[in-house]
Structure 1
Amino acid sequence: MTEPVTPGSTGPAPADPLLAELLTLALEAGRRAGALLRDGRPDDLAVAATKTSPIDVVTEMDLAAEKLITGYLSEHRPHDGFLGEEGAASPGTSGVRWVIDPLDGTVNYLYGLPTWAVSIAAERDGETVVGVVAAPLRGETYHAVLGGGAYVGDRRLAARPSPPLDQALISTGFGYLQHRRAHQADVAQRMIPLLRDIRRGGSAAIDLCDVAAGRLDGYYERGLNPWDLAAGDLIAREAGCLTGGRPGEPASGELTVAASPGVFAPLQELLEEHGAWHD
Protein backbone atom coordinates (compact mmCIF):
# COMPACT_ATOMS: atom_id res chain seq x y z
CA MET A 1 0.00 0.00 0.00
CA THR A 2 1.71 3.17 -1.15
CA GLU A 3 0.88 6.77 -1.78
CA PRO A 4 2.79 8.94 -4.26
CA VAL A 5 5.24 11.60 -3.24
CA THR A 6 7.18 13.88 -5.59
CA PRO A 7 8.21 11.86 -8.66
CA GLY A 8 11.93 11.27 -8.91
CA SER A 9 12.53 12.04 -5.25
CA THR A 10 13.22 9.78 -2.32
CA GLY A 11 10.65 11.43 -0.10
CA PRO A 12 11.02 14.71 1.77
CA ALA A 13 14.47 15.57 3.09
CA PRO A 14 14.82 15.34 6.88
CA ALA A 15 14.83 18.70 8.62
CA ASP A 16 17.69 17.61 10.88
CA PRO A 17 20.93 18.12 8.90
CA LEU A 18 22.60 15.14 10.58
CA LEU A 19 19.74 12.80 9.68
CA ALA A 20 19.75 14.13 6.13
CA GLU A 21 23.48 13.39 5.89
CA LEU A 22 23.12 9.90 7.36
CA LEU A 23 20.28 9.07 4.98
CA THR A 24 22.20 10.28 1.95
CA LEU A 25 25.25 8.24 2.93
CA ALA A 26 23.21 5.11 3.69
CA LEU A 27 21.40 5.33 0.36
CA GLU A 28 24.63 5.69 -1.57
CA ALA A 29 26.41 2.95 0.38
CA GLY A 30 23.45 0.65 -0.21
CA ARG A 31 23.40 1.50 -3.91
CA ARG A 32 27.12 0.78 -4.30
CA ALA A 33 27.02 -2.47 -2.35
CA GLY A 34 23.89 -3.60 -4.18
CA ALA A 35 25.54 -2.94 -7.53
CA LEU A 36 28.65 -4.84 -6.46
CA LEU A 37 26.60 -7.83 -5.38
CA ARG A 38 24.35 -7.77 -8.45
CA ASP A 39 27.01 -7.18 -11.09
CA GLY A 40 30.01 -8.83 -9.45
CA ARG A 41 28.55 -12.19 -8.53
CA PRO A 42 30.88 -14.82 -9.99
CA ASP A 43 29.39 -17.85 -11.72
CA ASP A 44 31.42 -20.10 -9.44
CA LEU A 45 30.52 -18.27 -6.21
CA ALA A 46 32.00 -20.18 -3.30
CA VAL A 47 31.42 -20.37 0.43
CA ALA A 48 34.19 -18.49 2.22
CA ALA A 49 33.31 -19.69 5.73
CA THR A 50 30.52 -20.97 7.93
CA LYS A 51 29.20 -19.41 11.12
CA THR A 52 26.79 -21.16 13.47
CA SER A 53 26.39 -24.31 11.37
CA PRO A 54 27.46 -25.76 8.00
CA ILE A 55 24.39 -24.18 6.34
CA ASP A 56 24.98 -20.72 7.88
CA VAL A 57 27.39 -19.52 5.23
CA VAL A 58 29.52 -16.51 4.36
CA THR A 59 30.47 -15.96 0.73
CA GLU A 60 33.33 -13.92 -0.63
CA MET A 61 30.74 -11.36 -1.74
CA ASP A 62 29.42 -10.81 1.81
CA LEU A 63 32.92 -9.85 2.84
CA ALA A 64 33.50 -7.62 -0.18
CA ALA A 65 30.19 -5.80 0.31
CA GLU A 66 30.83 -5.11 4.00
CA LYS A 67 34.31 -3.80 3.19
CA LEU A 68 32.84 -1.48 0.56
CA ILE A 69 30.15 -0.15 2.92
CA THR A 70 32.42 0.43 5.91
CA GLY A 71 35.10 1.97 3.73
CA TYR A 72 32.66 4.41 2.12
CA LEU A 73 31.05 5.43 5.40
CA SER A 74 34.41 5.76 7.18
CA GLU A 75 35.68 8.00 4.41
CA HIS A 76 32.82 10.45 5.02
CA ARG A 77 32.36 9.98 8.79
CA PRO A 78 35.62 8.66 10.26
CA HIS A 79 34.52 8.93 13.89
CA ASP A 80 31.36 6.81 13.65
CA GLY A 81 31.09 3.30 15.08
CA PHE A 82 30.18 0.09 13.28
CA LEU A 83 28.43 -3.18 13.97
CA GLY A 84 28.47 -5.50 10.96
CA GLU A 85 27.48 -9.11 10.41
CA GLU A 86 30.82 -10.07 8.89
CA GLY A 87 32.98 -8.67 11.66
CA ALA A 88 32.97 -4.87 11.49
CA ALA A 89 32.88 -3.68 15.11
CA SER A 90 34.10 -0.41 16.59
CA PRO A 91 32.47 1.92 19.13
CA GLY A 92 33.33 5.23 17.46
CA THR A 93 33.34 8.59 19.24
CA SER A 94 30.63 10.57 17.41
CA GLY A 95 27.52 9.07 19.01
CA VAL A 96 26.56 7.54 15.65
CA ARG A 97 26.86 3.82 14.97
CA TRP A 98 26.16 2.03 11.69
CA VAL A 99 24.51 -1.39 11.91
CA ILE A 100 25.16 -3.28 8.68
CA ASP A 101 24.10 -6.51 7.05
CA PRO A 102 25.96 -6.40 3.74
CA LEU A 103 24.02 -9.35 2.32
CA ASP A 104 20.80 -10.37 4.03
CA GLY A 105 19.66 -13.59 2.38
CA THR A 106 23.08 -15.08 1.75
CA VAL A 107 21.77 -18.58 0.96
CA ASN A 108 19.33 -17.12 -1.59
CA TYR A 109 22.24 -15.23 -3.14
CA LEU A 110 24.44 -18.33 -3.16
CA TYR A 111 21.77 -20.26 -5.06
CA GLY A 112 20.96 -17.44 -7.49
CA LEU A 113 17.56 -16.65 -5.97
CA PRO A 114 16.50 -12.97 -6.10
CA THR A 115 15.36 -12.40 -2.51
CA TRP A 116 18.39 -10.77 -0.90
CA ALA A 117 19.19 -7.26 0.23
CA VAL A 118 21.71 -4.84 1.66
CA SER A 119 20.59 -3.51 5.05
CA ILE A 120 22.11 -0.37 6.59
CA ALA A 121 20.87 1.41 9.72
CA ALA A 122 22.26 4.39 11.59
CA GLU A 123 21.86 4.75 15.33
CA ARG A 124 22.25 8.04 17.18
CA ASP A 125 22.93 7.65 20.89
CA GLY A 126 21.62 4.09 20.74
CA GLU A 127 18.36 4.84 18.88
CA THR A 128 17.85 3.82 15.25
CA VAL A 129 17.22 7.00 13.27
CA VAL A 130 17.85 5.96 9.65
CA GLY A 131 17.18 2.70 7.85
CA VAL A 132 17.91 1.69 4.26
CA VAL A 133 17.22 -1.69 2.64
CA ALA A 134 18.35 -2.04 -0.97
CA ALA A 135 16.93 -4.99 -2.92
CA PRO A 136 18.68 -4.73 -6.30
CA LEU A 137 16.98 -7.65 -8.07
CA ARG A 138 13.62 -6.13 -7.17
CA GLY A 139 14.77 -2.74 -8.39
CA GLU A 140 13.68 -1.30 -5.04
CA THR A 141 15.30 0.63 -2.21
CA TYR A 142 13.33 1.16 0.98
CA HIS A 143 14.24 3.85 3.46
CA ALA A 144 12.98 5.59 6.57
CA VAL A 145 14.01 8.35 8.94
CA LEU A 146 12.71 8.41 12.50
CA GLY A 147 9.56 10.52 12.52
CA GLY A 148 9.67 11.07 8.76
CA GLY A 149 7.75 8.15 7.30
CA ALA A 150 8.91 5.21 5.20
CA TYR A 151 9.38 5.10 1.43
CA VAL A 152 10.26 2.79 -1.41
CA GLY A 153 11.86 5.12 -3.93
CA ASP A 154 9.52 8.11 -4.07
CA ARG A 155 6.40 6.31 -2.82
CA ARG A 156 5.33 6.54 0.78
CA LEU A 157 4.62 3.23 2.47
CA ALA A 158 1.57 2.44 4.59
CA ALA A 159 0.59 -0.67 6.50
CA ARG A 160 -2.05 -2.86 4.91
CA PRO A 161 -5.58 -2.61 6.39
CA SER A 162 -5.76 -5.31 9.05
CA PRO A 163 -7.79 -8.44 8.30
CA PRO A 164 -8.93 -10.97 10.89
CA LEU A 165 -6.02 -13.21 11.86
CA ASP A 166 -7.48 -16.18 9.99
CA GLN A 167 -7.25 -14.10 6.79
CA ALA A 168 -3.75 -12.78 7.43
CA LEU A 169 -0.76 -13.64 5.24
CA ILE A 170 2.24 -14.04 7.53
CA SER A 171 5.91 -14.57 6.73
CA THR A 172 8.56 -16.21 8.88
CA GLY A 173 12.10 -17.51 8.75
CA PHE A 174 14.03 -20.46 10.12
CA GLY A 175 17.35 -20.50 11.92
CA TYR A 176 20.43 -22.48 10.99
CA LEU A 177 20.72 -24.71 14.07
CA GLN A 178 18.92 -28.03 13.61
CA HIS A 179 17.15 -28.11 16.97
CA ARG A 180 15.88 -24.54 16.46
CA ARG A 181 14.68 -25.26 12.93
CA ALA A 182 12.76 -28.31 14.12
CA HIS A 183 10.89 -26.30 16.75
CA GLN A 184 10.25 -23.42 14.32
CA ALA A 185 8.77 -25.87 11.82
CA ASP A 186 6.52 -27.28 14.54
CA VAL A 187 5.30 -23.79 15.46
CA ALA A 188 4.60 -22.97 11.80
CA GLN A 189 2.73 -26.26 11.33
CA ARG A 190 0.43 -25.45 14.26
CA MET A 191 -0.16 -21.89 13.07
CA ILE A 192 -0.92 -22.55 9.39
CA PRO A 193 -4.55 -23.68 10.00
CA LEU A 194 -5.16 -20.45 11.95
CA LEU A 195 -3.93 -18.08 9.22
CA ARG A 196 -4.55 -17.42 5.53
CA ASP A 197 -1.09 -18.86 4.86
CA ILE A 198 2.59 -18.64 5.76
CA ARG A 199 5.42 -17.52 3.48
CA ARG A 200 9.16 -18.04 3.90
CA GLY A 201 11.26 -15.65 1.82
CA GLY A 202 14.74 -16.00 3.31
CA SER A 203 15.55 -12.34 4.02
CA ALA A 204 14.41 -10.76 7.28
CA ALA A 205 15.09 -7.25 5.95
CA ILE A 206 12.87 -7.80 2.90
CA ASP A 207 10.14 -9.45 4.99
CA LEU A 208 10.02 -6.40 7.26
CA CYS A 209 9.86 -4.10 4.24
CA ASP A 210 7.09 -6.21 2.70
CA VAL A 211 5.05 -5.73 5.87
CA ALA A 212 5.71 -1.99 5.57
CA ALA A 213 4.65 -2.03 1.91
CA GLY A 214 1.41 -3.91 2.58
CA ARG A 215 2.56 -7.05 0.78
CA LEU A 216 2.30 -9.04 4.00
CA ASP A 217 0.00 -8.70 6.98
CA GLY A 218 2.73 -9.72 9.40
CA TYR A 219 6.09 -11.36 9.98
CA TYR A 220 7.77 -13.15 12.87
CA GLU A 221 11.09 -14.85 13.47
CA ARG A 222 13.25 -16.08 16.33
CA GLY A 223 17.01 -15.72 16.29
CA LEU A 224 17.55 -12.42 14.48
CA ASN A 225 20.64 -10.33 15.15
CA PRO A 226 20.68 -6.52 15.38
CA TRP A 227 21.95 -6.18 11.81
CA ASP A 228 19.11 -8.37 10.51
CA LEU A 229 16.34 -6.16 11.85
CA ALA A 230 17.63 -2.64 12.59
CA ALA A 231 16.79 -1.00 9.25
CA GLY A 232 13.69 -3.06 8.47
CA ASP A 233 12.20 -2.55 11.93
CA LEU A 234 12.41 1.25 11.55
CA ILE A 235 10.94 1.09 8.03
CA ALA A 236 8.01 -1.02 9.27
CA ARG A 237 7.30 1.30 12.20
CA GLU A 238 7.49 4.42 10.06
CA ALA A 239 4.96 2.83 7.69
CA GLY A 240 2.50 2.56 10.56
CA CYS A 241 3.14 -1.06 11.53
CA LEU A 242 3.72 -2.26 15.05
CA THR A 243 6.88 -4.13 15.97
CA GLY A 244 8.04 -5.92 19.09
CA GLY A 245 9.02 -9.23 20.59
CA ARG A 246 7.20 -11.17 23.27
CA PRO A 247 4.22 -9.26 24.76
CA GLY A 248 5.48 -6.04 26.33
CA GLU A 249 9.03 -6.47 25.03
CA PRO A 250 10.94 -4.97 22.10
CA ALA A 251 12.03 -6.92 19.04
CA SER A 252 15.11 -8.97 19.82
CA GLY A 253 16.93 -12.19 19.07
CA GLU A 254 14.41 -14.00 21.26
CA LEU A 255 11.52 -13.01 18.97
CA THR A 256 10.78 -10.34 16.39
CA VAL A 257 7.20 -9.58 15.34
CA ALA A 258 6.02 -6.94 12.86
CA ALA A 259 2.45 -6.53 11.61
CA SER A 260 -0.29 -4.11 10.70
CA PRO A 261 -1.87 -2.70 13.89
CA GLY A 262 -4.92 -4.96 13.97
CA VAL A 263 -2.92 -8.11 13.32
CA PHE A 264 -0.03 -7.42 15.68
CA ALA A 265 -1.54 -8.27 19.08
CA PRO A 266 -3.44 -11.42 17.97
CA LEU A 267 -0.33 -12.67 16.14
CA GLN A 268 1.89 -11.90 19.11
CA GLU A 269 -0.48 -13.75 21.45
CA LEU A 270 -0.60 -16.77 19.15
CA LEU A 271 3.20 -16.88 18.98
CA GLU A 272 3.40 -16.67 22.75
CA GLU A 273 0.90 -19.52 23.10
CA HIS A 274 2.87 -21.74 20.72
CA GLY A 275 6.28 -20.95 22.22
CA ALA A 276 7.79 -19.26 19.18
CA TRP A 277 10.21 -17.44 21.48
CA HIS A 278 12.16 -20.51 22.58
CA ASP A 279 13.85 -23.54 21.00
Structure 2
Amino acid sequence: MAGPPPLQLAIDVAVAAGTLLADFAGRRRDGADIGVETKSTATDPVSEADRAAERLIAERLLTARPDDGLLGEEGQAPRAGTSGYRWVVDPLDGTVNFLYDRPAWCVSIACEDDRGSVVGVVHAPVLGETWVAERGGGARRLEDDRPLQVSSVSTLAQALVATGFAYDADVRAQQGTEGADLVARVRDVRRDGSAALDLAGVAAGRVDGYLEHGLQPWDLAAGSLLVTEAGGCVTLVERELAGQVLDGIVAGGSAVHDLLLDWEVARR
Protein backbone atom coordinates (compact mmCIF):
# COMPACT_ATOMS: atom_id res chain seq x y z
CA MET A 1 0.00 0.00 0.00
CA ALA A 2 1.71 3.18 -1.20
CA GLY A 3 1.68 6.23 1.06
CA PRO A 4 1.49 6.55 4.85
CA PRO A 5 -0.20 3.81 6.92
CA PRO A 6 -3.94 4.34 6.62
CA LEU A 7 -4.83 3.91 10.30
CA GLN A 8 -2.59 6.67 11.64
CA LEU A 9 -3.53 8.89 8.71
CA ALA A 10 -7.23 8.35 9.43
CA ILE A 11 -6.72 9.17 13.12
CA ASP A 12 -4.77 12.35 12.38
CA VAL A 13 -7.27 13.57 9.79
CA ALA A 14 -10.31 12.74 11.95
CA VAL A 15 -8.85 14.68 14.88
CA ALA A 16 -8.08 17.66 12.64
CA ALA A 17 -11.64 17.63 11.28
CA GLY A 18 -13.00 17.34 14.81
CA THR A 19 -11.05 20.42 15.85
CA LEU A 20 -12.45 22.35 12.90
CA LEU A 21 -15.99 21.26 13.72
CA ALA A 22 -15.57 22.20 17.39
CA ASP A 23 -14.58 25.69 16.23
CA PHE A 24 -17.75 25.89 14.10
CA ALA A 25 -19.79 24.73 17.11
CA GLY A 26 -18.30 27.47 19.26
CA ARG A 27 -19.04 30.09 16.62
CA ARG A 28 -22.64 28.90 16.36
CA ARG A 29 -23.05 29.13 20.16
CA ASP A 30 -21.84 32.72 19.88
CA GLY A 31 -24.57 33.47 17.35
CA ALA A 32 -22.68 33.09 14.06
CA ASP A 33 -24.51 31.95 10.92
CA ILE A 34 -22.90 28.70 9.72
CA GLY A 35 -25.05 28.36 6.62
CA VAL A 36 -27.59 25.72 7.64
CA GLU A 37 -29.60 24.30 4.73
CA THR A 38 -31.66 21.15 4.13
CA LYS A 39 -31.08 18.16 1.88
CA SER A 40 -33.51 15.28 1.32
CA THR A 41 -36.30 16.69 3.54
CA ALA A 42 -36.95 19.72 5.73
CA THR A 43 -35.66 17.73 8.72
CA ASP A 44 -32.37 16.66 7.05
CA PRO A 45 -29.92 19.53 7.64
CA VAL A 46 -26.46 20.29 6.33
CA SER A 47 -24.23 23.23 7.22
CA GLU A 48 -21.00 24.86 6.15
CA ALA A 49 -19.42 22.94 9.04
CA ASP A 50 -20.20 19.62 7.32
CA ARG A 51 -18.83 20.87 4.00
CA ALA A 52 -15.71 22.47 5.45
CA ALA A 53 -14.87 19.31 7.41
CA GLU A 54 -15.24 17.17 4.30
CA ARG A 55 -13.03 19.52 2.28
CA LEU A 56 -10.34 19.30 4.95
CA ILE A 57 -10.60 15.50 5.09
CA ALA A 58 -10.50 15.07 1.31
CA GLU A 59 -7.55 17.42 0.90
CA ARG A 60 -5.45 15.78 3.61
CA LEU A 61 -6.23 12.20 2.63
CA LEU A 62 -5.60 12.72 -1.07
CA THR A 63 -2.50 14.82 -0.51
CA ALA A 64 -1.04 11.97 1.53
CA ARG A 65 -2.36 9.19 -0.73
CA PRO A 66 -3.16 10.70 -4.15
CA ASP A 67 -3.91 7.39 -5.86
CA ASP A 68 -6.73 6.41 -3.50
CA GLY A 69 -10.43 6.79 -4.17
CA LEU A 70 -12.86 8.79 -2.05
CA LEU A 71 -16.56 8.65 -1.21
CA GLY A 72 -17.97 11.39 1.01
CA GLU A 73 -21.40 12.54 2.08
CA GLU A 74 -21.18 16.27 1.40
CA GLY A 75 -20.36 17.71 -1.99
CA GLN A 76 -17.20 15.81 -2.92
CA ALA A 77 -17.60 14.03 -6.25
CA PRO A 78 -16.92 10.28 -5.88
CA ARG A 79 -13.34 9.54 -6.91
CA ALA A 80 -12.44 6.08 -8.22
CA GLY A 81 -8.67 6.12 -7.60
CA THR A 82 -6.15 3.67 -8.99
CA SER A 83 -4.60 2.14 -5.86
CA GLY A 84 -7.38 -0.33 -5.03
CA TYR A 85 -8.20 1.61 -1.85
CA ARG A 86 -11.08 3.99 -1.22
CA TRP A 87 -11.74 6.33 1.69
CA VAL A 88 -15.35 6.45 2.88
CA VAL A 89 -16.03 9.59 4.89
CA ASP A 90 -18.82 11.03 6.98
CA PRO A 91 -17.39 14.41 8.00
CA LEU A 92 -20.12 15.06 10.58
CA ASP A 93 -22.35 12.17 11.60
CA GLY A 94 -25.06 13.54 13.86
CA THR A 95 -25.57 16.94 12.26
CA VAL A 96 -28.87 17.51 14.08
CA ASN A 97 -27.14 16.90 17.42
CA PHE A 98 -24.34 19.24 16.37
CA LEU A 99 -26.79 22.01 15.51
CA TYR A 100 -28.62 21.58 18.83
CA ASP A 101 -25.32 21.65 20.76
CA ARG A 102 -25.76 18.05 21.86
CA PRO A 103 -22.57 16.01 22.27
CA ALA A 104 -23.46 12.91 20.21
CA TRP A 105 -21.75 13.78 16.90
CA CYS A 106 -18.57 12.49 15.34
CA VAL A 107 -16.22 12.24 12.40
CA SER A 108 -16.22 8.82 10.71
CA ILE A 109 -13.40 7.76 8.36
CA ALA A 110 -12.79 4.32 6.85
CA CYS A 111 -10.43 2.98 4.20
CA GLU A 112 -11.72 0.11 2.06
CA ASP A 113 -10.30 -2.40 -0.36
CA ASP A 114 -12.19 -4.99 -2.40
CA ARG A 115 -12.89 -7.03 0.74
CA GLY A 116 -14.36 -4.19 2.78
CA SER A 117 -13.02 -1.84 5.41
CA VAL A 118 -9.31 -2.07 6.20
CA VAL A 119 -9.30 0.58 8.92
CA GLY A 120 -12.00 2.55 10.69
CA VAL A 121 -11.92 5.59 12.95
CA VAL A 122 -14.83 7.21 14.79
CA HIS A 123 -13.81 10.41 16.58
CA ALA A 124 -16.23 12.21 18.94
CA PRO A 125 -14.60 15.50 20.01
CA VAL A 126 -17.15 16.62 22.62
CA LEU A 127 -17.23 13.17 24.20
CA GLY A 128 -13.42 13.09 24.20
CA GLU A 129 -13.36 9.60 22.70
CA THR A 130 -11.91 8.03 19.59
CA TRP A 131 -12.52 4.42 18.57
CA VAL A 132 -10.22 2.76 16.05
CA ALA A 133 -10.05 -0.61 14.32
CA GLU A 134 -7.78 -2.35 11.83
CA ARG A 135 -8.85 -5.47 9.98
CA GLY A 136 -7.34 -8.44 11.75
CA GLY A 137 -5.86 -6.18 14.43
CA GLY A 138 -8.80 -5.68 16.79
CA ALA A 139 -10.57 -2.55 17.92
CA ARG A 140 -9.71 -0.20 20.76
CA ARG A 141 -10.49 3.10 22.45
CA LEU A 142 -7.59 5.31 21.50
CA GLU A 143 -7.39 7.42 24.66
CA ASP A 144 -6.46 4.52 26.95
CA ASP A 145 -5.70 1.80 24.39
CA ARG A 146 -8.50 -0.29 25.91
CA PRO A 147 -9.61 -3.18 23.66
CA LEU A 148 -13.25 -3.10 22.61
CA GLN A 149 -15.46 -6.10 23.24
CA VAL A 150 -19.10 -6.56 22.33
CA SER A 151 -21.49 -7.64 25.06
CA SER A 152 -22.34 -11.26 25.76
CA VAL A 153 -26.06 -10.70 26.39
CA SER A 154 -27.92 -13.64 24.92
CA THR A 155 -31.63 -12.76 25.09
CA LEU A 156 -33.69 -9.94 23.59
CA ALA A 157 -35.43 -9.38 26.90
CA GLN A 158 -32.09 -8.33 28.43
CA ALA A 159 -30.81 -6.41 25.41
CA LEU A 160 -30.35 -2.65 25.25
CA VAL A 161 -30.82 -1.83 21.57
CA ALA A 162 -29.87 1.31 19.65
CA THR A 163 -31.80 2.44 16.60
CA GLY A 164 -32.57 5.47 14.46
CA PHE A 165 -35.21 6.82 12.11
CA ALA A 166 -35.22 8.05 8.54
CA TYR A 167 -35.91 11.69 7.62
CA ASP A 168 -38.92 10.87 5.40
CA ALA A 169 -42.11 11.28 7.44
CA ASP A 170 -43.91 8.27 5.92
CA VAL A 171 -40.94 6.01 6.57
CA ARG A 172 -40.65 7.31 10.12
CA ALA A 173 -44.30 6.54 10.77
CA GLN A 174 -43.80 2.89 9.79
CA GLN A 175 -40.56 2.72 11.77
CA GLY A 176 -42.41 4.06 14.78
CA THR A 177 -45.01 1.31 14.53
CA GLU A 178 -42.32 -1.35 14.28
CA GLY A 179 -40.34 0.30 17.08
CA ALA A 180 -43.34 -0.10 19.37
CA ASP A 181 -43.20 -3.84 18.75
CA LEU A 182 -39.45 -3.94 19.36
CA VAL A 183 -39.46 -1.94 22.57
CA ALA A 184 -41.90 -4.44 24.07
CA ARG A 185 -39.42 -7.27 23.43
CA VAL A 186 -36.14 -5.76 24.69
CA ARG A 187 -34.74 -4.22 27.87
CA ASP A 188 -35.00 -0.76 26.31
CA VAL A 189 -34.27 1.23 23.16
CA ARG A 190 -31.84 4.13 22.69
CA ARG A 191 -31.85 6.67 19.86
CA ASP A 192 -28.76 8.92 19.91
CA GLY A 193 -28.85 10.21 16.33
CA SER A 194 -25.50 8.99 14.96
CA ALA A 195 -25.10 5.63 13.25
CA ALA A 196 -21.32 5.67 13.64
CA LEU A 197 -21.59 6.32 17.39
CA ASP A 198 -24.27 3.63 17.73
CA LEU A 199 -21.91 1.12 16.11
CA ALA A 200 -19.04 2.28 18.32
CA GLY A 201 -21.38 1.74 21.26
CA VAL A 202 -22.03 -1.85 20.15
CA ALA A 203 -18.29 -2.44 19.80
CA ALA A 204 -17.65 -1.05 23.29
CA GLY A 205 -20.46 -3.07 24.88
CA ARG A 206 -22.42 0.07 25.76
CA VAL A 207 -25.43 -1.27 23.88
CA ASP A 208 -26.09 -4.90 23.06
CA GLY A 209 -27.35 -4.42 19.52
CA TYR A 210 -28.23 -1.92 16.84
CA LEU A 211 -30.51 -1.87 13.83
CA GLU A 212 -31.55 0.90 11.48
CA HIS A 213 -32.76 1.44 7.91
CA GLY A 214 -32.19 4.33 5.53
CA LEU A 215 -28.40 4.40 5.87
CA GLN A 216 -25.58 5.13 3.44
CA PRO A 217 -22.09 3.59 3.09
CA TRP A 218 -20.44 6.49 4.94
CA ASP A 219 -22.71 5.88 7.93
CA LEU A 220 -21.46 2.32 8.29
CA ALA A 221 -17.97 1.81 6.90
CA ALA A 222 -15.93 2.67 10.00
CA GLY A 223 -18.41 1.58 12.66
CA SER A 224 -19.05 -1.83 11.12
CA LEU A 225 -15.35 -2.64 11.31
CA LEU A 226 -15.29 -1.58 14.97
CA VAL A 227 -18.05 -4.10 15.70
CA THR A 228 -16.55 -7.06 13.84
CA GLU A 229 -13.07 -6.42 15.25
CA ALA A 230 -14.61 -6.27 18.73
CA GLY A 231 -16.00 -9.78 18.25
CA GLY A 232 -19.46 -8.87 17.02
CA CYS A 233 -21.54 -9.60 13.94
CA VAL A 234 -22.83 -7.24 11.27
CA THR A 235 -25.40 -7.96 8.55
CA LEU A 236 -26.42 -5.49 5.87
CA VAL A 237 -30.14 -5.71 5.15
CA GLU A 238 -32.65 -4.23 2.75
CA ARG A 239 -36.26 -3.38 3.54
CA GLU A 240 -39.19 -1.77 1.80
CA LEU A 241 -40.69 0.87 4.05
CA ALA A 242 -43.47 3.22 2.91
CA GLY A 243 -42.87 2.18 -0.69
CA GLN A 244 -39.12 2.84 -0.56
CA VAL A 245 -36.37 0.22 -0.62
CA LEU A 246 -33.90 1.21 2.09
CA ASP A 247 -30.50 -0.17 3.01
CA GLY A 248 -29.93 -0.95 6.66
CA ILE A 249 -27.89 -2.84 9.20
CA VAL A 250 -28.21 -5.27 12.09
CA ALA A 251 -25.26 -5.42 14.49
CA GLY A 252 -24.46 -6.83 17.92
CA GLY A 253 -22.89 -9.60 19.87
CA SER A 254 -23.55 -12.90 18.11
CA ALA A 255 -26.67 -13.89 20.06
CA VAL A 256 -28.38 -10.51 20.02
CA HIS A 257 -27.41 -9.96 16.38
CA ASP A 258 -29.09 -13.23 15.41
CA LEU A 259 -32.21 -12.47 17.45
CA LEU A 260 -32.51 -8.96 16.02
CA LEU A 261 -32.00 -10.32 12.53
CA ASP A 262 -34.79 -12.84 13.10
CA TRP A 263 -37.04 -10.01 14.30
CA GLU A 264 -36.07 -7.92 11.26
CA VAL A 265 -36.77 -10.75 8.80
CA ALA A 266 -40.18 -11.36 10.39
CA ARG A 267 -41.17 -7.75 9.65
CA ARG A 268 -40.74 -8.16 5.88
- TM (normalized to structure 1)? 0.87
- Go from structure 1 to structure 2 and tell me whether the alpha carbon gap of 1:173 and 1:56 turns closer, same or farther (over 3 Å shift): same
Deviation at 1:87, TM superposition (A): 2.4
- 1:167 and 1:265 mapped to 2: Cα distance? 14
Residue pairs, 1:33-72, within 5 angstroms? 33-41=17-25, 42-43=27-28, 44-72=32-60
- 1:148 and 1:159 mapped to 2: Cα distance? 15
Q: Which residue of 2 aligns with 1:210?
A: 201
Deviation at 1:47, TM superposition (A): 4.5
Q: Which residue of 2 aligns with 1:7?
A: none
Q: Which residue of 1 aligns with 2:73?
A: 85
Instruction: Confirm or deny: 8 A CA contact 2:4 2:64 kept in the other structure.
Output: no
Instruction: Confirm or deny: 8 A CA contact 2:24 2:34 kept in the other structure.
Output: no
Deviation at 1:95, TM superposition (A): 1.1
- 1:26 and 1:127 mapped to 2: Cα distance? 16
Residue pairs, 1:77-116, within 5 angstroms? 77-88=65-76, 89-116=78-105
Deviation at 1:172, TM superposition (A): 0.2
Deviation at 1:40, TM superposition (A): 3.0
Residue 12 (structure 2) pairs with residue 28 (structure 1): yes
> Unaligned 5+ residue runs, structure 2?
239-244
- Go from structure 1 to structure 2 and tell me whether the alpha carbon gap of 1:31 and 1:274 turns closer, same or farther (over 3 Å shift): same
Deviations 1:153-177 (A, max 9, x none): 1111011112311110001000101
Deviation at 1:18, TM superposition (A): 6.2
Q: CA RMSD in A?
A: 1.8
- 1:18 and 1:172 mapped to 2: Cα distance? 38
Deviation at 1:45, TM superposition (A): 4.5
- 1:179 and 1:137 mapped to 2: Cα distance? 33
> Unaligned 5+ residue runs, structure 1?
1-16
Report % sequence identity. Answer: 47
Deviations 1:103-137 (A, max 9, x none): 00000001111000000000123521010000111
Report the AA paired with residue 29 of structure 1: V
Instruction: Confirm or deny: 8 A CA contact 1:19 1:130 kept in the other structure.
Output: no
- 1:18 and 1:94 mapped to 2: Cα distance? 8
- TM (normalized to structure 2)? 0.91
Q: Which residue of 1 aligns with 2:150?
A: 159
How many aligned positions are there?
A: 255
Deviation at 1:19, TM superposition (A): 9.7
- 2:61 and 2:16 mapped to 1: Cα distance? 11
Q: Specify the SS of the correspondent of 1:92.
A: coil
Deviation at 1:98, TM superposition (A): 0.4
